[in-house]
Homo-oligomer: A and B are copies of this chain.
Amino acid sequence: MAGNDVKILGAWPSPYVMRPRIALNIKSVAYDFLEEQFGSKSELLLKSNPVYKKIPVLIHDGNPISESLIIVQYIDQVWNSGPSILPSDPYDRAIARFWATYIDDKWFPAMRGIAAAQGEDAKKAAMEPVVEGLVLLEDAFKNCSKGKKFFGGDKIGYLDIALGCFLGWIRVTEKLNNVKLLDEAKTPGLYKWAEEFCADSAVKDVMPATDKLAEAAKVIMAKIRAQASS
């Protein structure tokens, strides 16, 4: 029987940290949220994730686990105090894993390119693969949700968490760059899904308000620029 000494090392603006927090909320597991400060790393973080030295880390009864999607799968296996997060059907599960990997390996790195792009033309070019990716994900949404609210069906599942954690940053990217990424005409399914996802009881307390996240983004970008030029 799993104990319930559960800690998350994280930071509230991080989309990756949001993933295990949503998963723990789905399972109604209480946890201590230990905030790391941007630009420094606590002793506990360095000890808990010596390979990557990155958040999030879940510490369960003293055992540290790193990598957000691995943590989500761990949570799903350990606690049955809430609905399953991964699809039970093997094929559905493989497809959910495929798109979650696509999001982390291809789609989100492309989105970071928008913030880095200088000038109107560069920004337009940087947006292209992001929007193309969302069109692919719209198609995946149709196939996975089978007419229901979420990728996971009636309830939030693995792929909902994998993509949904980026919704705050999608909105901040739209706001700071004066662009439109999630478009009601181009990706109507995802557009509606995004609203449902953010309103869900497992999500709404950990999804930051766009204005607050935009302020944090400005501070983070300024620190990165200062470090790069020092």
Contacts and interface: CB of A to CB of B under 8 A. Distances in A.
Contact of A78 (B66, B71, B90, B102): B90
A25 interface: no
Where chain A touches its partner, the secondary structure class is helix
Kindly report how many copies of this chain are found in the complex they form together: 2
Q: Interface range on chain A: under 10, 10 to 19, 20 to 34, or 35 or more? A: 20 to 34
A93 B77 contact: yes
A136 interface: yes
A91 B74 contact: yes
A66 B94 CA distance: 8
A74 B94 contact: yes
A81 interface: no
Contact of A94 (B70, B94, B97): B70
Interface of A: 2, 51, 60, 63, 65-67, 70-71, 73-74, 77-78, 90-91, 93-95, 97-98, 101-102, 136
7 contacts: A51-B102, A60-B91, A63-B91, A65-B91, A67-B97, A70-B97, A74-B91
